[in-house]
């Protein structure tokens, strides 16, 4: 199977995530069928899809025509068999409960044609748990979107224990084809990658707040006006580069924990991750221009 064999996409669960996931596929040109437990939920999904597409038009991301075409590509049903029979790729976005996902995946495994890829939008559960009874282990994959899923570009794509390279590659290509940026994870891990990073920060913020370090308002302001301000341009690694840590004397830049052998080796090389040392000043200027644009947009007093 190849990406061009994907014609119809199914989305099971039309709630907070499902409606936006469906919009991505429909804007990517795919016939998209959403299924949920009741017509009432599906009517709500369609109304949310319409207003989300209208907002895209208002904000000039897409034309009226593109919005109407995408809307026309989305159909709904309460009958899982109807989604299953003709879909080449199905994304599950139902409740985050292992037994519900297990039951759904087992049903889809029986109902879908053999070639259909089954993806889960779980936030943190693993395929080796809820997907373990599925016979098509090679066709299982994780696509973890971030809310609002029709706007946030990145999607984590992770393999389960039996996911084939073919399934994984088609899934990453499908993400790109539907306007998303696949973040390729090399293994499954409860919480995957980005929620672990996000949860680590949130956990520490809540702990510091509970200990009376600062008010919730000041912690929030601190995050968005300091490293949060930088984040559209740099994550932890580019920050390592641009803050010049790699140029520090070895005795102060060594990682503290001894198990971080890989980081030590990396530091020993004495080079940044992304930036060519010869073009360091150029990279700094580019960064500063981007920051100034954000500063003007978000914080600078109007002159």
Ligand X SMILES: NC(=O)c1ccc[n+]([C@@H]2O[C@H](COP(=O)([O-])OP(=O)(O)OC[C@H]3O[C@@H](n4cnc5c(N)ncnc54)[C@H](O)[C@@H]3O)[C@@H](O)[C@H]2O)c1
Contacting residues for 30 by C-beta, under 8 A, at least 6 apart: 6, 7, 8, 9, 73, 178
123 an active-site residue? yes
Q: Which pair of structure tokens corresponds to residue 211?
A: 């200990």
Q: Which pair of structure tokens corresponds to residue 63?
A: 């034309």
Contact region for ligand X (CB under 6 A) — 10-18, 170-178, 216-224, 239-247? 10-18
Residue of 110, 114, 177, 113 whose CA lies nearest to 143: 177
Count the helix, strand and coil residues of the chain and give each as a percent rounded to the nearest 5. 55, 10, 35
**Binding to ligand X by residue 7, rule CB under 6 A?**
no
**Which one from 45, 150, 156, 234 is the annotated catalytic residue?**
156
Residue from 5, 7, 29, 37 touching ligand X (CB under 6 A): that is 37
Of the two residues 27 and 41, which places its CB atom closer to ligand X in the complex?
A: 41
Q: Are 117 and 90 a contacting pair, CB within 8 Å?
A: yes
259 burial level (CB within 10 Å; 0-12, 13-18, 19+): exposed
**Which one from 144, 150, 178, 188 is the annotated catalytic residue?**
144
**Which one from 106, 132, 164, 195 is the annotated catalytic residue?**
195
Per CB under 6 A, contacts with ligand X among 64-123 are 93-96, 100, 104, 121-123
**Binding to ligand X by residue 14, rule CB under 6 A?**
yes
Residue at shortest CB range from ligand X:
15
Residue from 25, 56, 145, 168 touching ligand X (CB under 6 A): that is 145
Residue from 6, 9, 10, 13 touching ligand X (CB under 6 A): that is 13
156 an active-site residue? yes
CA dihedral in degrees (21, 23, 27, 31; nearest 10)? Answer: 90
DSSP 112: S
Q: How many residues bind ligand X (CB under 6 A)?
A: 22
132 an active-site residue? no
**Binding to ligand X by residue 147, rule CB under 6 A?**
yes
Helix axes 39-58, 64-73, angle to 10 degrees: 160
Residues of the shown chain interacting with ligand X in the complex, contacts defined by CB under 6 A:
12-18, 35-37, 41, 93-96, 100, 104, 121-123, 145, 147
Q: Which residues are catalytic?
A: 123, 144, 156, 195
């Amino acid at each position: 199977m190849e990406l061009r064999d994907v014609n119809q996409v199914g989305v099971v669960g039309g709630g907070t995530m499902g409606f936006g996931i469906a919009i991505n596929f429909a804007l990517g040109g795919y016939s998209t069928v959403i299924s949920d437990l009741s017509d009432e939920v599906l009517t709500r999904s369609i109304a949310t899809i319409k207003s989300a597409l209208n907002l895209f038009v208002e904000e000039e991301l897409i034309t009226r025509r593109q919005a109407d075409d995408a809307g026309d590509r989305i159909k709904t049903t309460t009958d899982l068999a109807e989604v299953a029979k003709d879909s080449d790729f199905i994304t599950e976005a139902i409740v985050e409960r292992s037994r519900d996902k297990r039951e759904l995946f087992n049903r889809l495994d029986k109902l879908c044609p053999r070639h259909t890829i089954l993806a889960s939008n779980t936030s943190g559960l693993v395929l080796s748990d809820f997907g373990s009874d599925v016979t098509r282990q090679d066709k299982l994959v994780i696509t973890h979107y971030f809310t609002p899923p029709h706007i946030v570009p990145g999607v984590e794509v992770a393999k389960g224990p039996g996911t084939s390279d073919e399934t994984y590659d088609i899934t990453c290509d499908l993400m790109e084809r539907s306007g998303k940026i696949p973040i390729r994870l090399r293994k499954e891990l409860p919480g995957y990658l980005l929620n672990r990073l996000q949860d680590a920060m949130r956990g520490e913020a809540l702990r510091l707040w509970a200990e009376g370090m600062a008010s919730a308002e000041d912690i929030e302001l601190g995050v968005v006006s300091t490293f949060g301000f930088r984040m559209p341009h740099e994550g932890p690694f580019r920050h390592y580069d641009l803050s010049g840590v790699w140029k520090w004397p070895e005795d102060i830049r060594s990682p503290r924990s001894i198990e971080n052998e890989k980081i030590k080796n990396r530091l020993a090389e004495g080079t940044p991750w992304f930036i060519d040392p010869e073009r360091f000043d150029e990279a700094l200027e580019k960064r500063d221009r981007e920051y100034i644009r954000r500063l003007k947009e978000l914080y600078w007093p109007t002159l």
